[in-house]
Amino acid sequence: MSQPQSFTPENVPITKRNPQLDLAEALKGDWMNNHQFATAWFNAMSITFPLGEQFFINSVRHYRDRITDPKLKQEMKDFYSQEAVHLREHQRYNELLCAQRGYDLEELEKPLRKRMAWVKKNIPPRDQLAGTVAVEHMTAVLAERALGTADLFKGAHPAMAKLWKWHAVEEMEHKAVAFDVYRAIGGTEKMRRAAMRRSTFFLTWDILHGVRHILRRDGVLWNLKVWASGFVFLFGKQGVLRGTWQPYKDFFAEDFHPWAHDTQELIENWEMQQQS
């Protein structure tokens, strides 16, 4: 009998869902409450997903033969399935967005695409996996924010709210998969923390690159009002980053595990809303 390597709770299934949402109408406009900056921010995040998620899948799959625990083996497969559907839906999202609003997808993806190619060539697989572990944690923290008590998507176009919440739920379900693989292959704490510092910088950089492109094409790049509203959207009382600092920082603790912070209730609440 092999040692357990998965630490996702038994009663958290990593469920394959396959939503195909019609986003065309929503993406024509500022779907996030008519808020230009907030819409640009989420759209810029979406731009990073297809490339990012392909990288996550590859970096975890690289170690498929090193994992012996059947539970973790299965979770890895479920992780690929979930991320592959995210990738597909966000690719469609990004193409529709750019076609309808006159953004340049190639230019938007360029810095990330270049860096990914560099990383693939120059960074050892274990360090690549550490990067995935770090970004998966940031995603889980943002997912918790998106599904938490203050409804982030209140007033957003319903199809978009649906898409982001579905993605958030699945990020939460699989939040420990890359982490457990990393630990099982003997990834060090030091490398994990360094990866988080690096990934935080680059993810912020990528999103800001997207926001800049989008606001420039929208003709409001130098509009101070838009940036002031962006500041409130990010850091204000109801801001999207409000309350995320502590859970983000938890990652640096010696005994950190994604499920030390139990978020099952948020998944269950979402499931219940789907049925009603």
Query: What is the contact surface with Fe ion in residues (CB under 5 A)?
Result: 83, 86, 171
1: which 2 tokens? Answer: 């009998």
CA distances from 131 to 49, 57, 254, 256, 269 (A): 14, 12, 17, 16, 30
36 or 94: whose CB is closer to Fe ion? Answer: 94
CA distances from 221 to 36, 47, 92, 131 (A): 11, 18, 26, 31
Minimum CB separation of residue 139 from Fe ion in Å reads 5
Cβ proximity to Fe ion, 14 vs 67, nearer residue? 14
Question: Is 16:82 a contact under the CB 8 Å cutoff?
Answer: yes
The nearest distance, CB 130 to Fe ion, in angstroms, is 15
User: Which is nearer to Fe ion, 176 or 215 (by Cβ)?
Assistant: 176
- Residues in a beta bridge with 156: 32
Q: How far is the CB of 207 from Fe ion (least distance, A)?
A: 15
Among candidate residues 136, 213, 121, the one with its CA nearest the CA of residue 178? 136
Contact 258, 66 (CB under 8 A): no
Chain residue whose CB lies nearest Fe ion: 86
CB atoms within 10 A of CB 33: 14
* Nearer to Fe ion (CB atom), residue 73 or residue 88: 88
Q: Least CB distance from residue 209 to Fe ion, whole Å?
A: 20
Beta carbon of residue 189, minimum distance to Fe ion (angstroms, whole number): 21
Nearer to Fe ion, 30 or 83 (CB): 83
* Cα 15 from Cα 12, distance rounded (Å): 9
